[in-house]
Structure 1
Amino acid sequence: MSAQAPHNTLLIPGPIEFDDAVLQSMAHYAESHVAPGFVKVFGEAITLVRKLFQSTDPAAQPFVIAGSGTLGWDLVSANLIERGDNALVLNSGYFGDSFSNCLETYGAQVTQLKSVIGERHSLEQVEQALKAKPYKVITITHVDTSTGVLSDVKGVAQLVRRVSPETLVVVDGVCSVGSEEIAFDEWDLDAVVTASQKAIGCPPGLSIVMCSGRAIQRAQSRKTPSGSYYASIANWLPIMKNYEAFKPSYFATPPTQLVHALHTTLSQITARPMSERFAVHARESDRVKAAIAELGLKQLAPNPDAQAHGMTAMYLPEGLTPPDVLPGLLKRGVIFAAGLHKEIATKYIRFGHMGVSVTDPNRKDVDNALAALKEALAEAKQAKGL
């Protein structure tokens, strides 16, 4: 049984429900960010990030910085791109638009390759775009939470290395790291941006970025200074290296309690092979998707290969909108998210099933949510006379 106060179960695509031990670690007493005890915890947490990404490459470097996942976009855009450089954005929903805006803020010339809603890009489309002109970076949203589309990061990375090997492969993994397979070294990625509050299972407030040695070198060989002070790799690189070597260091004060929480959740996650974690998410995802199909609901992503395993975006029956259904779910103790994609936001809802809600066998979050969804839909249809 959880020691947390009774509350409605949060099943949106992040933030997610948290393990008791993670929340308890947030209650750590005040301590200096350069005290030996904290330095050890932070250093170990950075090393655990390497395990999370399945990376053993000493040239690669994790960054754990106070901020949201959006800060990761700044870290990439401010350091790996110079004004006038070309960037190719594989857009599978709302967050492709946002990443493009961030890149353009730092002077990138952005080309967006937009997919049809609910679909991911074919490798043929990507290859054609890469051959059209040279790109400094290509960005991929691994899971776009506005559509529930899972992109083929491994396939795209292999394609880039074959067609345009100088192009850096950058992954927005905010809603994928911890629930979808990511093999940083094996797939030869250059940067993966994520955040603490989704499948990693830590409260919001930490931006986590994994950079390859190639990306670090690109940042260090810039012709012009980075356009950001706080998101400068030059400023953060020695800090991360020092902490991981258990040496106190300072550029900006880390959120000490959040780092304790991150250490706790990463210790839990990496205690077992990552493959087992991915398999659990895949199994529960299959169960959710089968259940909503039985309810007559269709997913935004119809192709199973392009369906995320940590969330499901589902169209509502004709005549219903999110405000017709979400209150019924809430009345039954379950919180889903409304639609986010601006073109179809009124037509669908989103169910986040990741982290402890699927990995803790003592929790019945998914079962309760599916039962609540069935009842809320029936209630809404009756109220609308459908």
Structure 2
Amino acid sequence: MSTQAPHPTLLIPGPIEFDDAVLNSMGHYAESHTAPGFVKTFGETLTLVRKLFQSSNPAAQPFVVSGSGTLGWDMVASNLIERGENALVLHTGYFADSFAACLETYGANATQLKAPIGDRPSLEQIEQALKEKTYKLLTITHVDTSTGVLSDVKGVTELVRRVSPETLVVVDGVCSVGCEEIAFDAWDIDVVLTASQKAIGCPPGLSIVMTSPRAVDRFRNRKTPPASYYASMANWMPVMQNYENFKPSYFATPSTQLVHALHTTLTQITSRPLSERFAAHTQASDSVKAAVAELGLSQLAPKPENQAHGMTAIYLPEGLLPTDVLPLLLKRGVIFAAGLHKEIATKYIRFGHMGVSVTDPNRNHINSAIASLKEAFSEAKQAKGL
């Protein structure tokens, strides 16, 4: 059992509940970011990032930079594509809109390939788009946190390599890394960006980016300088390389306590086969989705192959709003999230089931939350006379 102070169980699609050892790591005493102890911790953390992404290619480059997952978009948009070049954004929800806006902020031309809410663009549609225009990069939101839609990263990457091999494949894995299978080398992905606070199980504040040799070459062969200073790979790459080789380096001060916490959680995650972690999330997801069906409710993503394993977006019955249900869940000690997709935000809620809430059997978070969900729906419907 956790030794943390009593609190409602946080079951939103991130931030998530944390392991005690991870939070204890945040209490590390003050130290210099160039001191031998921290340099060793940071260097080991970068190597653990490689294991997390299942990458053994020494020419691939991990980055761990203070910032939110959104910083990963800036690193892509300011380093891997230049003003006036084309990007194809596969749209499965709110976060594709945001990634496209980020790309356009730096002068790229972002074309969105949109699917209906709850669905994803088909491989045939993607192939047609790639044949119509030359794209420097293609972005995929592996799991869109606004809809719970899971994208087929492996299938899309295989398609891009066949149809447009020079196009970089960029994966927004903020809501997927740590709970969905992702094999960086085997799938031949170019970039995966994520953040510390979701299935990785670390407090918010770190942007984590993995880049392929192809992406590194793209950056090094830019015709113009990087379009950002803080997000510039020119500034961060030598720092990351030095730390991984246990040499002190400096561009901007890292979040030392957060890096200790990340080191702890990545050590835990990689100490067991990743396949076991993915299987545990699939099992928990199946339980949640079975409960949703038992309640007679539907998901935003109706097709099983499109459904994420770390969260579930649940349509509310006609006549109920998130404000009718969420307070009743809180009364039972559980926090879910309201809808986020701007077109249907008042019609659904989101249940996050990832990280320690899934992997620690002593916590019983998922089963308790399912029971609370059933009770809350019953009470809400009764109150509304439904």
Alignment partner of 1:208 is 2:212: no
* 1:177 counterpart residue number: 177
Shift of residue 6, structure 1, vs aligned partner = 0.2
* 2:135 counterpart residue number: 135
Shift of residue 292, structure 1, vs aligned partner = 1.1
Q: Distance in 2 between matches of 1:170 and 1:327?
A: 38
* 2:94 counterpart residue number: 94
Q: Distance in 2 between matches of 1:85 and 1:212?
A: 20
* 1:23 counterpart residue number: 23
Shift of residue 151, structure 1, vs aligned partner = 0.2
Shift of residue 70, structure 1, vs aligned partner = 0.1
Q: Distance in 2 between matches of 1:370 and 1:94?
A: 26
Q: Distance in 1 between matches of 2:381 and 2:276?
A: 39
* 1:8 counterpart residue number: 8
The residue type equivalent to 1:48 in the other structure is L
* 1:42 counterpart residue number: 42
The residue type equivalent to 2:3 in the other structure is A
The residue type equivalent to 2:204 in the other structure is P
* 1:303 counterpart residue number: 303
Q: Distance in 1 between matches of 2:245 and 2:178?
A: 25
Q: Distance in 1 between matches of 2:273 and 2:60?
A: 21
* 2:115 counterpart residue number: 115
Alignment partner of 1:70 is 2:70: yes
Q: Distance in 1 between matches of 2:134 and 2:348?
A: 38
Q: Distance in 2 between matches of 1:362 and 1:303?
A: 32
| 2:229 partner SS | coil
Cα RMSD after superposing both structures: 0.4
Q: Distance in 2 between matches of 1:176 and 1:62?
A: 17
Q: Distance in 2 between matches of 1:204 and 1:141?
A: 19
Q: Distance in 1 between matches of 2:276 and 2:107?
A: 42
| 1:59 partner SS | coil
Structure 1 alignment gaps of length 5 or more: none
Shift of residue 8, structure 1, vs aligned partner = 0.3
* 1:361 counterpart residue number: 361
Shift of residue 298, structure 1, vs aligned partner = 0.3
Shift of residue 343, structure 1, vs aligned partner = 0.6
| 1:297 partner SS | coil
Aligned pairs for 1:114-263 within 5 A: 114-263=114-263
Please give the TM-score of this superposition, normalised by the length of structure 1. 1.00
Please give the TM-score of this superposition, normalised by the length of structure 2. 1.00
1:206-238 CA deviation, whole Å, 9 max, x = no partner?
A: 000000011011111110011100000111000
* 2:321 counterpart residue number: 321
| 1:178 partner SS | coil
Name segments (4+ residues, structure 1) moved above 4 Å: none
Q: Distance in 2 between matches of 1:102 and 1:217?
A: 22
Q: Distance in 2 between matches of 1:116 and 1:185?
A: 31
The residue type equivalent to 1:351 in the other structure is F
Structure 2 alignment gaps of length 5 or more: none
Shift of residue 46, structure 1, vs aligned partner = 0.3
Q: Distance in 1 between matches of 2:46 and 2:226?
A: 24
Q: Percent identity, please.
A: 79
Shift of residue 163, structure 1, vs aligned partner = 0.1
The residue type equivalent to 1:160 in the other structure is V
The residue type equivalent to 1:242 in the other structure is N
| 2:12 partner SS | coil
Q: Distance in 1 between matches of 2:249 and 2:109?
A: 36
Q: Distance in 1 between matches of 2:320 and 2:260?
A: 43
Shift of residue 368, structure 1, vs aligned partner = 1.0
Q: Distance in 2 between matches of 1:5 and 1:248?
A: 37
Shift of residue 383, structure 1, vs aligned partner = 0.9
Q: Distance in 1 between matches of 2:266 and 2:339?
A: 30
| 1:23 partner SS | helix
Shift of residue 121, structure 1, vs aligned partner = 1.4
Aligned pairs for 1:322-361 within 5 A: 322-361=322-361
Shift of residue 96, structure 1, vs aligned partner = 0.2
The residue type equivalent to 1:202 in the other structure is C
The residue type equivalent to 2:56 in the other structure is T
* 1:106 counterpart residue number: 106
Report how many residues are paired.
Answer: 386
| 1:208 partner SS | strand
